[in-house]
Amino acid sequence: MAARVSKESFENEVLKCDIPVVVEFYSDSCIPCKQLSPILGGIEDDYEDRVKVVKVNVNYDYELTSEYQVMASPTIIIFKDGKEVQRVRGLVKRPELEELVNQIL
């Protein structure tokens, strides 16, 4: 299961990570976010040493939400070398997410 990161841990866990990081901005009350959870878990398992998966709760970490201009949940942002390289909003199917991940590997 993807680890939850906050403003305090975001820089070390995401921006300074030496592999690409898939960040889901989510809300506990968001049904599409709950549907996305097993998809992200599968990505995390299948790309174990090549991609990191983390989550940011938009209700608690509004500073990050604002900083990255997240307007809807779920929003997935993929970071590589500390920079945003991909972004997708809403529920995505696994093949679409895998394609985004494979593009940056």
Q: Which residues are catalytic?
A: 30, 33
Alpha-carbon distance of 94 to 12, in angstroms, equals 27
Sequence-separated (6 or more) residues with CB below 8 Å from residue 43: 22, 51, 53, 94, 97, 98, 101
Q: Fill in the DSSP letter of residue 6.
A: -
